[in-house]
Amino acid sequence: DAKTTQPPSMDCAEGRAANLPCNHSTISGNEYVYWYRQIHSQGPQYIIHGLKNNETNEMASLIITEDRKSSTLILPHATLRDTAVYYCIAGDYGNNRLAFGKGNQVVVIP
Amino acid sequence: GAVVSQHPSWVICKSGTSVKIECRSLDFQATTMFWYRQFPKQSLMLMATSNEGSKATYEQGVEKDKFLINHASLTLSTLTVTSAHPEDSSFYICSVQGNTGELFFGEGSRLTVL
């Protein structure tokens, strides 16, 4: 799997869009970008994934740069319940042995 | 996405006893399930892959005789921590893989060994 780099932590304002960056400069052509989050003392939650095109679902939007070396997860209107560790992972489709890394501790501030 | 449920959510046991954790895929038939362990302030570590009707595949460094995995049906996998010791205290999480590669996780089971 390609290595990903995320900031260790960031604060976001409640009600504003939260933009979570991720670098994956060594990503290969067949590797997807997956995003998960883990709220304290809970199992991780799948958010979104994509290969080349930008993706949007009811939780978030995923913007992948044209060269695929980085991506941004956008939470359109951050709420206090979005406080969690967010994991950006690059891996082959169907690869269950994804390495989660340390993630980005996002704190939404009132 | 798939709904995955674990039981129990938390368990406290005495050192030397065995503890069984169940992982159920409620709306998805899973031929494969995955077990992870997470120590405080650390990331998830894959322990083993549970295969329905056959032996589990363990990651390097995980003792298969200590962490017994059974996957008897398409909706149930169990992890038994045998002869538990305090160092086995951790957060154990299972997951199933969806049709497009994404992982769906259970709520986790927190084990405390006294």
What band does A25 get if pLDDT is binned at 50, 70 and 90? Answer: very high
CB atoms within 10 A of CB B55: 12
Among A39, A46, A49, which would you mutate to test the B interface (most chain B Cβ atoms within 10 Å of its Cβ)? A46
DSSP, collapsed to helix, strand or coil, labels residue B90 as strand
CB proximity A43 to B under 8 Å: yes
Q: What is the pLDDT of residue A27?
A: 92
Chain A residue numbers with beta carbons less than 8 Å from the beta carbon of B4 are 43
Percent of chain B with pLDDT over 90: 78
Task: Tell me the average pLDDT across B29-44.
Answer: 92
Residue B23 token pair: 């992982």
> Would you call B101 and A32 a contact, using CB atoms and an 8 Å cutoff?
yes
> Would you call A95 and B101 a contact, using CB atoms and an 8 Å cutoff?
yes
Go through chain A and tell me how many residues it has: 110
Phi, psi angles (nearest 5°) of residue B64: -70, -25
Q: What is the pLDDT of residue B72?
A: 83
A1: closest CA of chain B, how far (Å) = 14
Among A98, A102, A104, A105, which would you mutate to test the B interface (most chain B Cβ atoms within 10 Å of its Cβ)? A98
Percent of chain A with pLDDT over 70: 96
Query: Which residue is closest to A44 within chain B, CA to CA?
Result: B105
Q: What is the 3-state secondary structure (H, E, C) of chain A?
A: CCCCECCCEEEEECCCCEEEEEECCCCCCCEEEEEEEECCCCCCEEEEEECCCCEECCCCEEEECCCCCEEEEEECCCCHHHCEEEEEEEEECCCCCCCCCCCEEEEEEC
Indicate the helix (H) or strand (E) that contains B25. Answer: strand B19-25
pLDDT digits (tens, 9 = 90+) for B15-26: 999 999 999 999
Q: What is the pLDDT of residue A94?
A: 67
> Would you call B34 and A96 a contact, using CB atoms and an 8 Å cutoff?
yes
Query: Which residue is closest to B33 within chain A, CA to CA?
Result: A96
DSSP, collapsed to helix, strand or coil, labels residue B27 as coil
On whether the CB atoms of residues A58 and A76 are closer than 8 A, the answer is no
> Would you call A46 and B100 a contact, using CB atoms and an 8 Å cutoff?
no
pLDDT digits (tens, 9 = 90+) for A52-102: 999 999 999 999 999 999 999 999 999 999 999 999 999 887 666 777 888
Among B43, B92, B93, which would you mutate to test the A interface (most chain A Cβ atoms within 10 Å of its Cβ)? B43
Q: What is the pLDDT of residue B22?
A: 97
Chain B residue numbers with beta carbons less than 8 Å from the beta carbon of A92 are 101
